[in-house]
Structure 1
Amino acid sequence: MKVVSVINYKGGVGKTTLTANIGAGLAAMGKKVLLIDLDPQASLTFSFFTQDEWLDDLSAKRTIKQWYDTAGDGRAAIKLAELITTPPRVNSLVAGTGGWLDLIASHLDLINTEAILTSAVDPKTGQVPASRYMQVHRRLADGLTDKAFAEYDVVLVDCAPNFNLVTKSAIVASEHLLIPTKPDHLSTRGIDFLGWKVHELVQEYNVHLDETRRRSKAVPRLARPNPAVVFTMVQYYNGDPLGTLGTYISRVRALGVPTFNTMIRDRKAVFAAAPEYGVPAILAANHDTSAELRQLVDEFLTWTGRTPES
């Protein structure tokens, strides 16, 4: 099982659209895919379920919020696997391929979960017991060890555009980090900073690991997840990205971060309409966008087959 976090500090870069389409594309290729929505906006959730479906069937007891909220409050723990849902419309289109797509939904109040996690890690200012640190930062990683997740080929985690404890727990659980970005100044400037923050998290985590007895229970040291950038919302002229966009693409590549060869064109009308029907654009009738997305999925499979960097 490959765990991939999709992350960028900047919102509006196509992060959720990319997560939904890669997941659906993998399912159509016969892969067993789980999507986890960790963004309080819940856009990934609403890409597959209507507002009424979410309110009636998911919001009260079947979102990731209820699971994170039990991190330190003493209540009976909810198993992460109990939250798995199967979006009907997208799965009707991949039926017969051997693949399927499941989802763990988000909640609009997930933003309030940060306070609960913070109190679980640091009940007294300046004092962070290693055992509590590991418990919270490994929460998603430990949850995914449940045998119910062994059937999945890929887990895609849609992260919020921040670096809070929920996002950190996703990074700790991940072998790979996929970084969607528009080729512009605001969207690309945080990539290098994100790399430093991940580096700091890995170092901090391993210091706490060395201080806790959990290491004797075969908890591995954390390796830096394998990163890659995907350029989104790209505008073309005569077959090439517009001149100013090419400048930012070159700047990102100069950072040394691997970049996908496939770049996703700016097709707002196509992508904006897809969530209304619960079917990502990659599964729509033949058009240039779906072909481009399928090419991206092929490249994604090659990338995730590589060994993460230490």
Structure 2
Amino acid sequence: MMNYKGGVGKTTLSANIAADIADRGNKVLLIDLDPQANLTLSFVSIEDWKNLDRQERTIKHWYDQYLDYEHNTSLRELAITPSRVNAKIKQNGNGGRLDMICSHLELVEVDMELSSKLGGHTDRAIRKNYFNVLSRLRFKLDEIKGEYDVVLIDCPPNFNLITQNAIVASDCYIVPAKTDYLSTLGINTLLKHVDTLTKKYNQHLNVKQHRDIPPISPQILGIVFTMVSYHGGVPISAQREYISQIERSGLPYFNNSLRENKTLFASAPEAGIPVVMNHGNTQQEQIRRETQALVDEVLAAIKE
């Protein structure tokens, strides 16, 4: 889940998609790579998060191991099962579960430190270091992804090394976008950067020691329009224009979107249960149905 632009509803979208997929009886792993840690705090209380920090069980501490000792423990040791959302999932009796690997506010410093690992005195050393840094998450995720039906990674709003780690580790990606000029402006650039990264990374697989490693091919599943305001059952005219621009561009997008509702979405993190899992008044039921319809589209796109 990524976009260069922050404030596009990426965290809200990640939380609701992951929770609904788990609620349908799937094992889901959420990985929060955004230093703002908003996704983490959508499921985990601040006190529990502080405890995880003291126990060194965040993704920041996992990268610290590599920076300090050139190795990482299993991601399995970082995964937690947030109690409030999983109690709700358990009520359905479908056997689903949502696990999470939490972020840390100092992850932004890790991103800068990782760049220091890219150098080398020879071309061979530079190639080796590039491959090792970019492959950290991929190889460790390969060890545990058989335990999950879906792994969803929430990326920071940039294209730094942490985001590149996520792309290398992913089969596909979703781009959340508000229907405004700034949010849609950089989407083509983002796709070009993903393509460039893919080609550069795969070139490193041509050397003898890496020939048994399959190439990566992350595909865009689609753009999800977020914070959409409706009038008369359709998006307001200003937003329709940006939706039309995406349609004309030929980029893939999802027919269902995330409706604007600051009241419902803003209060959900404190409860630790995303909006899509709660029944309520007519407005809340409408958002729940629309989000579930979006998840239907996402799952169908993944299967393709």
**1:23 corresponds to:** 18
Paired residues of 1:282 and 1:289 also in contact (CA < 8 A): yes
1:171 aligned to which of 163, 167, 171? 167
Paired residues of 1:140 and 1:170 also in contact (CA < 8 A): yes
1:104 aligned to which of 96, 101, 104? 101
When residues 242 and 212 of structure 1 are mapped into structure 2, their CA distance, relative to the original with a 3 A threshold, is: farther
**Structure ranking higher in helix proportion:** 2
Q: Which moved more, 1:63-72 or 1:75-84?
A: 75-84
**1:137 corresponds to:** 134
Deviation at 1:59, TM superposition (A): 4.9
Deviations 1:104-136 (A, max 9, x none): 000000000012211222246988622211111
Q: Which moved more, 1:134-143 or 1:115-124?
A: 115-124
Unaligned runs of 5+ in 2: none
Paired residues of 1:227 and 1:257 also in contact (CA < 8 A): no
| Mapped partners of 2:222, 2:121: distance in 1 | 37
Where 1:144 maps in the other structure, the secondary structure is helix
1:64 aligned to which of 59, 65, 75? 59
**1:3 corresponds to:** none
Alignment root-mean-square deviation, CA: 1.7
Unaligned runs of 5+ in 1: 1-5
| Mapped partners of 2:125, 2:224: distance in 1 | 36
Paired residues of 2:173 and 2:218 also in contact (CA < 8 A): no
**2:235 corresponds to:** 241
Deviation at 1:292, TM superposition (A): 1.0
Paired residues of 2:9 and 2:226 also in contact (CA < 8 A): yes
**2:112 corresponds to:** 115
2:249 aligned to which of 245, 251, 255? 255
Alignment TM-score, normalising by the size of structure 1: 0.92
**2:289 corresponds to:** 291
Q: Equivalent pairs: percent with the same residue?
A: 45
Deviations 1:57-106 (A, max 9, x none): 34541000111122243266322111000000000011122101000000
Matched ranges for 1:213-228 at <5 A: 213-215=209-211, 218-228=212-222
Residue identity in the other structure for 2:104: H
Matched residues, number: 298
Where 1:9 maps in the other structure, the secondary structure is coil
2:40 aligned to which of 45, 65, 83? 45
When residues 72 and 123 of structure 1 are mapped into structure 2, their CA distance, relative to the original with a 3 A threshold, is: farther
1:91 matched to 2:86: yes
Paired residues of 1:71 and 1:120 also in contact (CA < 8 A): no
Where 1:264 maps in the other structure, the secondary structure is coil
Deviation at 1:208, TM superposition (A): 2.1
Where 1:299 maps in the other structure, the secondary structure is helix
| Mapped partners of 2:163, 2:102: distance in 1 | 15
| Mapped partners of 1:260, 1:225: distance in 2 | 15
| Mapped partners of 1:59, 1:17: distance in 2 | 27
Where 1:157 maps in the other structure, the secondary structure is strand
| Mapped partners of 2:294, 2:139: distance in 1 | 30
Q: Which moved more, 1:70-79 or 1:20-29?
A: 70-79
**1:80 corresponds to:** 75
| Mapped partners of 2:121, 2:20: distance in 1 | 46
1:273 matched to 2:254: no
Paired residues of 1:36 and 1:158 also in contact (CA < 8 A): yes
Paired residues of 1:228 and 1:257 also in contact (CA < 8 A): yes
| Mapped partners of 2:72, 2:161: distance in 1 | 19
1:197 aligned to which of 177, 193, 197? 193
| Mapped partners of 2:43, 2:16: distance in 1 | 11
